[in-house]
Amino acid sequence: MSRRLEVHDPMTLQSPFMQRYEGKRWDEPRGQETLGSGPLHRAYQARDGWFFLDARTDDGSRLAALEGLFEIASLDGASLERALEHHFLTQTVDHWVSRCMAAGLGAHRCILDLPELMHDPWVVEHELSATRAHDDIGLVTTCGPAPRLSRTPVHIGKPAPRPGSDAHSILAEIGLADRLESLIARGIVRVNGVLAG
């Protein structure tokens, strides 16, 4: 039976918040309880879970087109946020996501369980999650690369090999393959004794 290891890379998820450049405004929402940056760009709880709404400030007419929201779409700030919190609790996540999308607003279900996220069909299809066989561990699931560049497409490589297992081929590339045994004997190269994972 193969073992499955899940590896989640928080650095990939946090990378937009780690960029420094002249003129950068440090105004990202902060803290574990933060739901978003405003009433039209945040997570909302529905009857059976959470979804994220992403709309522009000039999307009031699209918001008003959603059932029951005509009266509150003209509100703004904290008043709009409280009204939306109350209203979105009345239906399911799928209901609100489909209605928002049909109205031209961005919306998606929030997946709060990391293993569920890593195996979500959309995430897997877009290679934001990759499951590959490792020599020692078995199946390993890791984050796939997030950037998608047209001129330099990303290819997901193999999992890191067993420590030391590629020593011979690396030394061969630099013309030192014949010295492998002496390098091992002197403790310069290790080919065992370090467990993966």
Distance CA 177, CA 173 (A): 8
Distance CA 148, CA 127 (A): 10
Q: What's the residue count for the chain?
A: 197
Average per-residue pLDDT for the chain = 81
Distance CA 140, CA 129 (A): 10
Percent of the chain surpassing pLDDT 70: 83
pLDDT digit string (tens) for 183-195?
Answer: 989 988 887 766 6
Token pair for residue 34? 């933060």
Instruction: Give the per-residue pLDDT at 12.
Output: 56
pLDDT digit string (tens) for 118-137?
Answer: 888 888 888 888 888 887 77
Which residues touch 16 (CB under 8 Å, ≥6 apart)? 28
Distance CA 80, CA 78 (A): 5
Instruction: Tell me which amino acid residue 25 is.
Output: R
Domain ranges of the chain: 161-197
Distance CA 25, CA 134 (A): 42
Is pLDDT larger for residue 163 or for residue 139?
139
Token pair for residue 127? 């290679």
Q: Exposure of 167 by Cβ count < 10 A (0-12 exposed, 13-18 middle, 19+ buried)?
A: middle
Which residues touch 90 (CB under 8 Å, ≥6 apart)? 47, 68
Which residues touch 150 (CB under 8 Å, ≥6 apart)? none
Distance CA 144, CA 12 (A): 9
Provide the whole-model pTM. Answer: 0.61
The band of 7, judged by pLDDT with boundaries at 50, 70 and 90, is: very low
Token pair for residue 9? 């890379």
CB contact at 8 A, 5 and 141 = yes
pLDDT digit string (tens) for 51-87?
Answer: 999 988 888 888 888 887 887 777 778 888 898 999 9
